[in-house]
Structure 1
Amino acid sequence: MSISIAIVEDERNYNNALKKVINYQQDMKVIAQFFDGSDAMQNLPHISPDVVMMDIQLQDMLGIEIIEKLRKEMPDTQFIMCTSFEDDEKIFNSLKAGAMGYLVKGESMDKILSSIRDVYSGGAPMSFSIARRVLKHFERNLTEIKGFDELTEREKEVLELLSEGLLYKEIADKKCISIDTVKKHVGNIYRKLHVNNKVEAINKFNHFKN
């Protein structure tokens, strides 16, 4: 049984090139082509392909929006982003929306074909550069979480009071400690959170709180 594929791509030449190469394979077939988002949004649920090759920046909307709106209607369809965008925001918004793969348009057709087979079999194919970005993002988050966990209870209390806008003297009075002790706690907070100033420390604190 062949893998059924829909292509959502407003660049006609690339859309047609994908279709031609895919249809040349014995194990897959393009059953629909869409050149704008609204047409794809309206018709994709009726054909429910196994895999959708989705461009991010369509002329009338973002491919991310289409996935967000159709994901529940099409639980058996796997979406692969195929785009020229490599920025973190679009990558993570795509993955959060429900895309199971993310390919850069410069990839070879062999890579694209193997990615279709991979996602159909339950994999999560990504271009090498995208996979590196994802890993670095999680490494960075783990480092930040570790730093926050290293704070003592008193340091967390001082950081919370800083985030409320209290001055060192006000914190010292509230906690019945000296200003020098407050400064020492603040220095430890900066070191453990890998920040250089109060604003960065408060931003990280608010991030963990949320």
Structure 2
Amino acid sequence: MPAAAPIRVFVVEDQTKILKNQLRLLEGHPDIEIIGTALSGEAALEEVAKTVPDVILLDLGLPRMSGIDVTREVKATHPKVEILIFTIFDEEDKVLEAVKAGASGYLLKGAPVDKIIEAIKEVRAGGTVIQPNLARRLLRHFRVDPDSGPVPSSPRPEAPERAPALETPAAPDAMLRPLSDREQEILQLIAKGISNSEAAKMLNLSKATIRTHLEHIYRKLEVTNRVEAVTEGIRKGLISV
């Protein structure tokens, strides 16, 4: 089997000392290729347009153009580029906004290199990185602000107008319990900040199977990522936190 190509990573950090330390940790790792760096959001957008990396390690607290704005711009022009946010512990409000803007997860600054590498691989494989020590605080934001979720609280008001005579109402059980036992189990793990790899080990499943279950969960709940799925799971009473 040919060796997998390294993951092409672009690093955005406005403090040169921290940037150098990040590069020192990542450079030379066989699974990672650093293809560029930037000290500002504006410079990052210019370089990302030229290099189109697989994953961006993005500092949330950039001057002028914030990491949230950078995330929004990158996902609008290059939706397949995954974004991993670097943050500090008291920035959960901003992390929430970054996830809403399209970030695939976050790490606390100062995380060990093995955690950074694991997180890069996770988001590159289509997963999401939510650390347990911040996951509960993020979820509290969703609980106090239910309207922020992507799915309206009332079920599809436009549907009866579209085809009132042909529409068949869903069975009560399907409306109350839209997920299978396994899907609920996986969603509960997601709410605890468990990664795809960890969930696969805990449930004795392959990572591909976990991803398939996640795709089914997203489709059934009409969401696009883990945080939205957990939000809907809480709102519908499918999981507890």
Both proteins in one fold, TM over 0.5: yes
Decide which of 5, 8, 13 is 1:9's aligned counterpart.
13
Deviates more, 1:126-135 or 1:97-106: 126-135
1:141–1:64 Cα change, 3 Å: closer
Instruction: Normalising by structure 2, report the TM-score.
Output: 0.55
Structure (1 or 2) with the larger CA radius of gyration? 1
Q: Partners in 2 of 1:140 and 1:88 — Cα distance? A: 14
Decide which of 43, 48, 52 is 2:47's aligned counterpart.
43
The 8 Å contact of residues 8 and 34 in structure 1, kept in 2 or not, is answered as yes
Q: Partners in 1 of 2:65 and 2:57 — Cα distance? A: 15
1:95 matches 2:104: no
Residue 44 of structure 1 deviates from its aligned partner by 0.9
Residue by residue over 1:134-191, the C-alpha shift from the partner in whole angstroms, topping out at 9 and shown as x without a partner, is 233345567xxxxxx9xxxxxxxxxxxxxxxxxxxxxxxxxxxxxxxxxxxxxxxxxx
Secondary structure of the corresponding residue to residue 16 of structure 1 = helix
Alignment of 1:73-152 (within 5 A): 73-84=77-88, 86-140=90-144
> Which stretches in structure 1 are left out of the alignment for 5+ residues?
143-148, 150-210
The 8 Å contact of residues 88 and 133 in structure 1, kept in 2 or not, is answered as yes
Secondary structure of the corresponding residue to residue 77 of structure 2 = coil
Give the counterpart letter for 1:124 in structure 2: T
Secondary structure of the corresponding residue to residue 35 of structure 2 = strand
Greater percentage in helix: 1
Q: Partners in 2 of 1:61 and 1:139 — Cα distance? A: 29
Q: Partner of 2:38 in structure 1?
A: 34
Q: Partners in 2 of 1:41 and 1:85 — Cα distance? A: 26
Residue 71 of structure 1 deviates from its aligned partner by 0.8
Q: Partners in 2 of 1:17 and 1:106 — Cα distance? A: 10
Secondary structure of the corresponding residue to residue 76 of structure 2 = coil
**Percent identity over paired residues:** 29
Instruction: Normalising by structure 1, report the TM-score.
Output: 0.63
Decide which of 72, 76, 86 is 1:68's aligned counterpart.
72
1:64–1:130 Cα change, 3 Å: same
Give the counterpart letter for 1:10 in structure 2: D
The 8 Å contact of residues 87 and 95 in structure 2, kept in 1 or not, is answered as no
Residue 38 of structure 1 deviates from its aligned partner by 1.3
Q: Partners in 1 of 2:118 and 2:28 — Cα distance? A: 14
Q: Partners in 2 of 1:36 and 1:61 — Cα distance? A: 7
Give the counterpart letter for 2:62 in structure 1: L
Q: Partners in 2 of 1:20 and 1:106 — Cα distance? A: 13
The 8 Å contact of residues 36 and 47 in structure 2, kept in 1 or not, is answered as no
> Which stretches in structure 2 are left out of the alignment for 5+ residues?
147-152, 154-241
Residue 84 of structure 1 deviates from its aligned partner by 1.7
Q: Partners in 2 of 1:85 and 1:65 — Cα distance? A: 20
